[in-house]
Amino acid sequence: MLEKLQIVKQRFDEVSDLIIQPDIISDQKRYVQLNKEYKDLRALMDERAKYIEYTDNLSEAEEILADGSDAEMVEMAKMQMDEAKSAIPELEEKIRMMLIPKDPEDAKNVVVEIRAGTGGDEASIFAGDLYRMYTKYVDGKQGWSHSTVDFSEGTSGGFKEIQFEITGEDVYGTLKFEAGVHRVQRVPQTETQGRVHTSAATVMVLPEAEEFDVQIEMKDVRIDFFCSSGPGGQSVNTTYSAVRLTHIPTGLVAQCQDQKSQHKNKEKAFKVLRSRLYDLELAKKQEEDAAKRNSQVSSGDRSAKIRTYNYPQGRVTDHRIGLTLYDLQNIVNGDIQKILDELQLVENTEKLKANEGEL
């Protein structure tokens, strides 16, 4: 373990030197990448210091016990040895997980898109429930923030579709497992016979691309301006502040009508367009990686049914890892951390197996 950590220390010293070089500081893309690497390596250096302290304490305790001449020192050495032997295996496991190569996308902010699927009005209501679930999670202990980009309301509540940004630390790394088809089983508000219906909504989690991640040629983009619309389709202002961008080579469309300023809407729409283009490439890469690893939780298949919310039984089941929790009310109120933790654990275990030869 110390040999592996010594290699990491060498890289940490190298990166520490690089990020203060003027030519690196002037190269924004390189500087951002190195800063992120520095932060990750700094965390590993902290764990390395703890590990060295415990292994030194263990060696010292063994020497004292071997000597055995001072009874009081022997007693203290036993306590020191027990503490070190208890801490070292946990610390080694933590360091192993930290040594797993991180996806560079994990640190990015995200654009989340929720679209109502099969199920008519009930699917729109469910899409609204998912939006509420994610925003309550974000507003909880995450220290993140969110803002709406664009939405189209359902006729009986909820949303036919909604896009919103989430900004914070390691947002994509935390929420990327939410991408896929979410299914709800319950008696709809519109159902008079009391029958349980199944409806669905699709969630997409796009890593927010910086300008240096995706270069968009302005000649490839058609820009349309229109009046923002509210419930029922009526115009809510008379100025053409809403913006729709069409990327001609791919046919991808991004629009924003949330801000009163045309300039701000255009800025947000470009952010979404960049993220969609970036996501196209990322989806191909994820599919290739998943095929190599036979990954359960990040296959890149955006049409896969990933989770069911069953109201009559009060349960939530994640089909990728066979996890069932009978805690539906808390989960739909934003308490999704336990699901995310389990998915992350499975992903890390798969990565550890794939990299154990290198580690």
- Regarding whether 27 and 139 lie in a shared domain, the answer is no
State which of 99, 115, 139 marks the end of a domain: 99
- Regarding whether 30 and 48 lie in a shared domain, the answer is yes
Between 335 and 4, the higher pLDDT residue: 335
State which of 99, 132, 155 marks the end of a domain: 99
Check pLDDT > 50 for residue 322: yes
We report the CATH number of the domain holding residue 43 as 1.20.58
**pLDDT at residue 232 in the model:** 46
Contacts of 238 by beta carbon, 8 Å cutoff, 6+ apart: 227
CB neighbourhood size of 182 (10 A): 24
Check pLDDT > 80 for residue 164: yes
Q: Is 266 within the bounds of a domain?
A: yes
Q: Which stretch of 64-73, 117-126, 185-194 has the lowest confidence by average pLDDT?
A: 185-194
pLDDT in tens, 238-263: 567 889 999 999 999 999 987 678 88
- Give per-residue burial for 110-131: e unless 16+ CB within 10 Å, then b: bbbbbbbbebebbbbbbbbbbb
Distance CA 197, CA 19 (A): 56
Range of the domain at 251: 104-352
pLDDT in tens, 208-217: 887 767 888 8
- Residue whose token pair is 């240096």: 212
- Regarding whether 237 and 344 lie in a shared domain, the answer is yes
Counting the structural domains of the chain, the total is 2
SS3 318: strand
**pLDDT at residue 359 in the model:** 42
- Regarding whether 216 and 198 lie in a shared domain, the answer is yes
Q: Is 359 within the bounds of a domain?
A: no
- Regarding whether 73 and 145 lie in a shared domain, the answer is no
- Regarding whether 214 and 129 lie in a shared domain, the answer is yes
- Regarding whether 213 and 296 lie in a shared domain, the answer is yes
**What's the mean per-residue pLDDT of the chain?**
87
Cα angle 157, 202, 154 (rounded to 5 degrees) comes to 15
Check pLDDT > 50 for residue 308: yes
pLDDT in tens, 51-60: 999 999 999 9
pLDDT in tens, 138-162: 998 788 999 999 999 999 999 999 9
- Regarding whether 179 and 35 lie in a shared domain, the answer is no
Percent of the chain topping pLDDT 70: 89
Distance CA 258, CA 154 (A): 17
We report the CATH number of the domain holding residue 309 as 3.30.70.1660
- Regarding whether 22 and 166 lie in a shared domain, the answer is no
Percent of the chain topping pLDDT 90: 56
- Regarding whether 111 and 73 lie in a shared domain, the answer is no
- Regarding whether 110 and 84 lie in a shared domain, the answer is no
Check pLDDT > 70 for residue 20: yes
Averaged pLDDT for residues 113-140 = 94
State which of 99, 115, 146 marks the end of a domain: 99
pLDDT bucket at 107, cuts 50 / 70 / 90: confident
**pLDDT at residue 70 in the model:** 85
- Regarding whether 251 and 209 lie in a shared domain, the answer is yes
Q: Is 122 within the bounds of a domain?
A: yes
Between 353 and 14, the higher pLDDT residue: 14
